Structure 1
Amino acid sequence: MTITTPVTRSGTRPARRLLGLATAAALAVGLLTATAPAAQAAIPDRPEWTLQFGDDFDGASGTLPDTANWRFSIGHGYPGGPANWGTGEIAYHTDDPANVSLDGTGNLRITPRRDAAGNWTSARIETNRQDFRPPADGVLRIESRLQMPNVTGEAAMGYWPAFWALGSPYRGNWWNWPGIGEYDIMENVNGIDSTWAVLHCGVAPGGPCNENNGIGASRTCPGSPCQGNFHTFTFEWDASSSPQELRWYVDGQQYHSVDQSQLPADTWSQMTSHAGYFIILNVAIGGAFPDGVAGRVTPTAATRPGHPMVVDYVAVWTRPGDGGGDPDPGDPQRDAYSPIQAESLDGHRGVVVEGGHIGYLASGDWARFDGVDFGATPPVDFLARVASGAPPGVSGLVEIRLDSPGNPPIGAFAVGTTGGWTSWRDIPGNVSAVTGVHTVFVTFTSGQPADFVNLDRFHFRR
């Protein structure tokens, strides 16, 4: 939430694809959405998980959320902290039921309002608990089913709803961001049909998380527009894997991840070794993110107050480890000379798993496969089954790297269009001599930002 404009990927694939900021801003203008009923759903029963916290916002209409669970952040910032919450937003946050209250049908509504003098008010609530983290060698899951404010186009300029978590050391300090960590589970601005997932960490500006942008991704909401429809937004911190991994989902579809190997050890430790995280729900008005996307100052005279973010539930689960964690990446798990299905990956950046393959692959993306055993005799090449519907002039390299996505490639081949995103072709690439057990990274490099390939499977030959 304490960001300017997060990094996101743009391209030319169908409506499922991630929206670039410029494209998204253009779509925001004039987009119309229908109003969906404020449907209630119970907190899901997940037998394999242990519920650590849950609020389904049952209660009488017009009442405040349960103060046993939530506290109100009042004003334009924490006392002694950055002005305007460090984001440049302009609304004064209140505990007025007109801004934040239950609706009597099992939902919380956070509603921005504007008075006759043009002053905006809204609300920001935080969990009292600040210890949300995975158990040793386990997994943490934070989730909310919610509806973004049902407003689009010029009337939505400056709207900034968010569901996110901050590291507990921030409370009482207010100046140690972003080192203590921030997980933006759902952010949206200006009524765009898209959700953003962002990690903030390290130092600002710059640093390993590219602050003040963060490491981010975005995509449209599955099945129905984000605005005016309920969708489920989920964040998982998986400490059962090695390296550990952070994952973001919308309606069960993963669209962003960051793993421990992408960050310096001290950066990862600073954001994961403290007591845990607290959760925030708020609707900001104006600020660096909506301004950056719109390319102008927001809100404007056309921005329409009174459109709430509607929250059905917030829940936190944990799942224990299996006693020893996942297999070490250095242990043999895969035969290099048998087909390795791309969707069996152990970690990734910028990859979408769909239909038995991985896709939306653009420059800088990678997929990780642990424990690939090459044996004592090195391969002579590798063979990958790929497809591409990239337009003319868009191509790139499919590369093999060992043990780190930053290591030099040991093999590669170039690929352009194959005639369609499901027009599969087996393409060989030479590789340097390698023996023993390694973590294999399949990486994707291109001179253009657009997606250029899908990957079904690969294997090595000798």
Structure 2
Amino acid sequence: MRATITSFNRLTAAICINALSTAVGCAQPSTIPKADKPHYAFAPTPSWQDEFNYTGKPDPAKWSYDLGDRGWGNNELENYTDKIENAKVEHGNLVITAIKEPSGKQQYSSTRLVSKGKGDFTYGKFEIRAKLPKGRGTWPAIWMLASGNEYGNKGWPDNGEIDIMEHVGFDQDRLHGNIHTKAFNHAIKTNKGNNVVVKGLSEDFHVYTCEWTPEAITILVDGNAYFTFKKEAAYQWPEWPFDKPFHLILNIAVGGNWGGQKGVDDSIFPQKMEVDYVRVYPLVTK
């Protein structure tokens, strides 16, 4: 009887050891770090920001002006100026104002602020809280262009464009997010983007966000993503030029190929885009 029990115990032990070895062998791959795909996140605090907690012209350490009345490639009707009447900071907000008045060769004035050379970024989370103008003929935008010209024909669209927010006043409740590249742009009808209906764009502040990593660009409003453009394995610079520094642009255009599709209502002016803050959170790799 004792011999039988001993043999049974030995057999049981052998089975258990074999099962344990098999289990450990099967589990081993999970102990090996997964191949080199990084996990991307964004730092909890901004590395660059403007809270507009001052008074007067926009901070010259952070913002410059694109100036001119040349139509800006879209047959726009405004002259962009650096006048305080078109861009000023007051009551905690940046206020960009489009005015119906003779200005340069045009009949409207406005402002186009740029962070180029003072805020240039490769990847990150870009967050802007703003209230938009209203009315037929207005075309406000919060967007990004490449700070250098390293690809293709050294200009647009080869070096890329990221539209965090575009709005045209003739379609009041619709918000647009887009990207433009050599391969994907509206001029050749291959544009990548989306739009979403949001009520109260001109009555309330909303948060416009772009999350940009080496793998994807996602556009959000009030924390809700409505457009994502992913980098595919086969993409080269004509599809994905988004691996170089870009800068921010804030402006109100008047009229133009898109904003002026249904004309301009002169009775609405002046019109304002108010910006509560601009915050840029750097990309971190985990």
TM-score > 0.5, shorter chain as reference: yes
Q: CA deviation at 1:131?
A: 2.7
Alignment match of 1:230 (pick from 205, 218, 221): 205
Distance 1:56 1:285 in 2: 26
Map residues 188-267 of structure 1 onto 2, 5 A cutoff: 188-190=167-169, 192-202=172-182, 207-211=183-187, 214-221=191-198, 224-239=199-214, 244-261=215-232, 264-267=235-238
CA contact (8 A) 1:157 1:303 kept: no
1:120 and 2:108 matched: yes
Residue 245 (structure 1) shift: 1.0
CA contact (8 A) 1:220 1:226 kept: no
Partner of 1:95: 82
1:42-441 equivalences in 2 (<5 Å): 48-60=43-55, 63-76=56-69, 83-103=70-90, 105-115=91-101, 119-127=107-115, 128-129=117-118, 131-134=120-123, 140-149=124-133, 151=134, 156-170=135-149, 176-190=155-169, 192-202=172-182, 207-211=183-187, 214-221=191-198, 224-239=199-214, 244-261=215-232, 264-269=235-240, 271-274=241-244, 276-292=245-261, 294=262, 298-300=263-265, 302-322=266-286
Would the aligned equivalents of 1:74 and 1:95 in 2 still touch at CA under 8 Å?
Answer: yes
TM-score normalised by structure 1 residue count? 0.49
Q: Which residue identity is paired with 1:226?
A: L
Shift of 1:230: 0.2
Aligned residue pair count: 240
In 2, are the aligned partners of 1:142 and 1:315 still within 8 Å (CA)? yes
SS state at 2:200 partner: coil
AA of the residue aligned to 2:155: N
User: Which stretches of structure 1, 4 residues or longer, exceed 3 Å deviation after superposition?
Assistant: 207-213
Deviations 1:254-295 (A, max 9, x none): 0001101187323245x1233x10100000001011234x3x
Q: What is the rounded CA distance, in whole Å, between the counterparts of 1:235 and 1:310 in structure 2?
A: 19
CA distance in 1, matches of 2:177, 2:272: 21
Q: Rg: which structure is higher?
A: 2
In structure 2, relative to structure 1, the CA distance for the partners of 1:97 and 1:212 (3 Å cut) is farther
Gaps of 5+ in 1: 1-45, 77-82, 135-139, 323-462
In 1, the alpha carbon distance for the partners of 2:236 and 2:194 equals: 23
Contact 2:122 2:243 in 1 (8 A): no
- For normalisation by structure 2, the TM-score amounts to 0.77
Q: By how many angstroms is 1:189 displaced?
A: 0.6
Q: Is the 8 A contact 2:125 2:212 kept in 1?
A: yes
Secondary structure, aligned partner of 1:288: coil
Residues 263 and 67 of structure 1: CA distance in aligned 2, closer, same or farther (over 3 Å)? farther
Question: Is the 2:114–2:248 Cα contact (8 Å) retained in structure 1?
Answer: yes
Instruction: State the SS of the aligned residue for 2:144.
Output: strand
Cα distance change, pair 291–256 in 1 and its aligned pair in 2 (3 A): same
Shift of residue 209 of structure 1? 3.8
Residues 138 and 168 of structure 2 are in contact (CA less than 8 Å); yes or no, is this contact kept in structure 1? yes
Q: 2:65 and 2:234 mapped to 1: Cα distance?
A: 33
Q: CA deviation at 1:58?
A: 1.3
1:175: how far off?
Answer: 5.7
Answer whether contact 2:77 2:255 (CA < 8 A) is retained: yes
Whether the 8 Å CA contact 2:42–2:284 is kept in 1: the answer is no
